[in-house]
A and B are shown apart, each in its own frame.
Chain A
Amino acid sequence: MADEPLVLGIETSCDETGVGIVRGHTLLADAVASSVDEHARYGGVVPEVASRAHLEAMVPTIQRALKQAGVSAGDLDGIAVTAGPGLAGALLVGVSAAKAYAYALGKPLYGVNHLASHICVDQLEHGALPEPTMALLVSGGHSSLLLAPDITGDVRPLGATIDDAAGEAFDKVARVLGLGFPGGPAIDRHARDGDPAAIAFPRGLTGGRDPLYDFSFSGLKTAVARWVEARRRDGRDVPVADVAASFQEAVVDVLTRKAIRACKDNGVDHLMIGGGVAANSRLRSLALERCEGAGIRLRVPRPGLCTDNGAMVAALGAEMVARGRASSTFDLPADSSLPVTEVSVPGHTHDHVHEAARDNLHG
């Protein structure tokens, strides 16, 4: 429908320069330039390397997305950008670009939350989100259970990891097994040939007195490392496929168990899963199996929309426009630790006295 908001979204919170264009719930373009290969030899994302790559890729990726969508920048109803959370220097490149385009084109600017965007992207795949939405968000930087009565303004954290994010555990275990970076796809691949019940790795925070919706993956990672090292010390082969499958099973078992518990406790009959780890094939299949068993409808976007991308930011931006939410001002900051409860960063009144004082000080 032509009267739905046409929004361009920019995402630079980590190592992907993502630019997406949506019209309402319809995906028109999803252009991503990744610097992941440059980070591989360091075994993790190097912030300065990521920031440099964002600067190089920013304008070409925007041009590519506009071309893909077949729209002109002047037709846009708004420009949305990830304002946080994420790597400070990386976020700043996207935020600065979004401001410049919005200002030059005379379009409203929407600084939005990365985590809420990961949820909202499902509107491009499965239509309007139910209200409330129960979402399990799992990536290299986050593992959270979120209840969102209104994705443009009310997102409530039910629980989160108390140590490592799920994706971080995949990276660390992949390092133990010598499978390289990023670890998620490698573990997923090797696990397909392994037995998920071969080794009984611990399920973190699943005891009777443990917090219901929080996660812990640090102990699991250490348990895997100890098991593998003991094996190597004894001069025995490490069954990589079985270790990968058993580790992966321990992660997805806890994730799905707690997510379904959260749905039941809150009377929500569906579950949305987003974030890079939602691209994991075993998480997708076990979640489907358990949701079916519990009478819960599962919503998981295709893998390409689970990992970081600009379309998810555009999706949330379009929803903000559709609901008439306030846009951001041009002094929008990039906030590396933006809380999940802040879905967007609207205009804030500035401390003019402070600014004037600075001028006088240095004038």
Chain B
Amino acid sequence: MLLLAFDTATPAVTAALHDGERVLAESTVIDARRHGELLVPAVDRVLSTAGRALADVTGVVVGVGPGPYTGLRVGLVTAASFGDALGVPVHGVCTLDGLAWAAGEAGLEGPFTVATDARRKEVYWACYDGPAVRVTEPAVNRPADLPADVLALPAVGAGAALYPDAFTDRRPDPAHQSAGSLGALAAHRLAAGEAFAPALPLYLRRPDAQVPAGYKAVLPT
């Protein structure tokens, strides 16, 4: 098994190779504005670091968000294109699940919350009962609007760090999404025979577009 994993749903542009046992190579660059420029070079870097060819890849793992849409789509369209060009399956994994798995790798146990920056003073968040068990659907809210018991849980992710008044029990690791962790989680799911999410974006918001109220006259009324 050789999984190529990547995620562009957060400011991290992260790619990794996982052979089912361990992470062979990982590249993570934090740049919220250049997902499109950085992703394929990152894939190229992990392949050459690991000394493997793209043709050896048996599956693509991609973070499906939630996350800011423009960056998120870079990862999803790249995954779909690789999947088609290489003839391999594309496995969608919720981006928050990748962070949760990484939190487990960092030693966090029991219930906790993962929150990322959704901009507009909101966070994308979900609750976990251990690193592999998500217990709520991913959602987007203002931190102050989250239930008190959610906010009281240990919290990881940039969304928690951004709103320290709301998330009172913040944990530093993982600070950013890691494709290595995402790949490890996917390998875990594959080994357990679990199903994957379709590689479709979790937008969680409708496009901001207003149907115009009507024709605006030029002449003074």
Chain A interfacial positions (CB closer than 8 Å to B): 41-43, 46, 48-49, 51-52, 54-55, 58-59, 62-63, 73, 88-89, 92-93, 95-97, 99-101, 103-105, 175-176, 178, 222, 225-226, 229-230, 233, 330-334, 355, 358-359, 361-362
Contacts and interface: CB of A to CB of B under 8 A. Distances in A.
A100 B78 contact: yes
> Chain B interface mostly helix, strand, loop or mixed?
helix
27 contacts: A41-B211, A48-B69, A48-B208, A51-B69, A52-B207, A55-B201, A59-B80, A92-B36, A93-B77, A95-B36, A99-B40, A100-B78, A100-B81, A103-B40, A175-B215, A176-B215, A178-B215, A222-B218, A225-B219, A226-B218, A229-B219, A358-B29, A358-B31, A359-B29, A361-B30, A362-B29, A362-B176
Given A97-B81, A333-B36, A89 B207 contact: no
A185 B38 CA distance: 40
Interface stretch (B82-90, B99-107, B117-125, B141-149): B82-90
B207 A43 contact: no
A70 B215 CA distance: 48
B150 interface: no
A105 B81 CA distance: 10
B41 A89 contact: no
B195 interface: no
Contact of B73 (A62, A63, A92, A176): A92
A200 to B, nearest CB: 18
Contact of B209 (A49, A55, A331, A333): A49
A59 B77 CA distance: 8
B219 A104 contact: no
B168 interface: no
Contacts of A332: 37
A265 B161 CA distance: 64
A55 B76 contact: yes
B29 A58 contact: no
B77 A226 contact: no
B70 A63 contact: no
B85 A101 contact: yes
A49 B219 contact: no
Contacts of A89: 69-70, 73
Interface string B49-71: 00000100000000000000110
Contacts of B38: 331
B23 interface: no
- B36, B79, B212: which has the most chain A beta carbons within 10 Å? B36
A355 B85 contact: no
A229 B83 CA distance: 55
Contact of B219 (A51, A105, A230, A358): A230
B73 A100 contact: no
Interface string B182-221: 0000000000000000000101000111111001011100
User: Closest 8 A-B residue pairs measured CB to CB?
Assistant: A100-B81, A104-B85, A48-B207, A225-B218, A46-B209, A362-B30, A330-B40, A331-B37
A96 B209 contact: no
A272 to B, nearest CB: 32
A324 B176 CA distance: 42
Contacts of A230: 219
A95 B219 CA distance: 44
A196 B17 CA distance: 65
B43 interface: yes
